[in-house]
Amino acid sequence: HLRTHNFTILDQTAPHCYVPLCLFYPNTSSSTQQRSLLTESLKGSLAKTLNVYYPLAGRYRDAFAVDCNDAGAEFVNARVVAGSMSDVVLQAPDDDVLVPLLLCRPRGRHVDSEGELVLLAVHVSFFDGCGGVSIGVCVWHGLADACTLACFLATWSGFAMQDSGGRTVREGDGDTAVVEDCTVVFPPADLSVHGECMERFRAAVATPGTRTKRFVFEGGKIAALRRGIEESSWRQPLVAEPKI
């Protein structure tokens, strides 16, 4: 792959924050051996996924590019001794409950041991009280948005299932090249002349006091929606795949 991934003007003007997502899976296993196997499976499939989305394994160089040096993503696993996963999922949790399940604060700046900005961070939490597991993923908004994160997770899921003897990675899941140089369409700009304006914009985004709303979709409703889409499509849609 290319050693340098250049930012477009859209990347340059994106808020300097992380796009967070936390996935919850009930009753995986409470044994130390099974948790270890799951952790190794997640790490192995994540490494394969980063071969496809290779800029996420790099480090932020400057306002114009990412150094695709394969420094890697941050991956940490932990145990949640007190409480169960239902305490988080079934209630209406606030940031004080959800943020500890992530490796970095969404509005913060997460750096590695060398002091360089991490572009992808994964935090796996095992709940002792119920055997469930949560996977918190944070991707830097200056490089990827929520749609990119959904595609990344679909590819990661495909590789994980492939390693466990499940389905193979399908075309569109990440088996083909997904990193494109879009600077021809959206060329970068020297935003230093607008430094004060950009700092005000980013400061406004990072200011606390935002309101969080919770939307709960029943599994049966999602299944019915997927069946309806599948009837008019050549393949079954992914869970996180947008359909218009």
Helix (H, G, I), strand (E, B) or coil at 230: helix
Query: How would you class 69 by CB atoms within 10 Å of its CB: exposed for 0-12, middle for 13-18, buried for 19 or more?
Result: middle
User: For residues 50 and 77, what is the distance between their CA atoms, to the nearest angstrom?
Assistant: 19
Supply the CATH number for residue 22's domain: 3.30.559.10
Residue % of the chain over a pLDDT of 70: 80
Q: Which of 55, 45, 63 is nearest to 168 (CA)?
A: 45
Res. 243 pLDDT band, cuts 50 70 90: very low
Q: Is residue 144 part of a domain?
A: yes
Q: Is residue 129 part of a domain?
A: yes
**For the chain, how far is it from start to end, CA to CA, in angstroms?**
32
Helix H or strand E segment including 135? strand 133-140
Q: Is residue 84 part of a domain?
A: yes
pLDDT in tens, 165-204: 555 555 445 445 577 888 888 888 887 766 677 677 666 6
Q: Is residue 47 part of a domain?
A: yes
Q: What does each C-alpha distance from 10 to 22, 56, 161, 208 come to in angstroms?
A: 26, 17, 34, 24
What's the domain count of the chain? 1
Q: Is the dihedral of CA 146, 52, 107, 126 positive or negative?
A: positive
Q: What does each C-alpha distance from 232 to 45, 133, 154, 228, 241 come to in angstroms?
A: 31, 34, 21, 7, 15
Q: Is residue 89 part of a domain?
A: yes
Q: Is residue 98 part of a domain?
A: yes
Q: Is residue 221 part of a domain?
A: no
pLDDT in tens, 226-240: 888 777 765 655 555
Domain that holds residue 175: 4-189
Q: Is residue 91 part of a domain?
A: yes
Q: Given the DSSP bridges, would you call strands 74-80 and 65-67 parallel, antiparallel or unpaired?
A: unpaired
pLDDT greater than 60 at residue 152:
yes
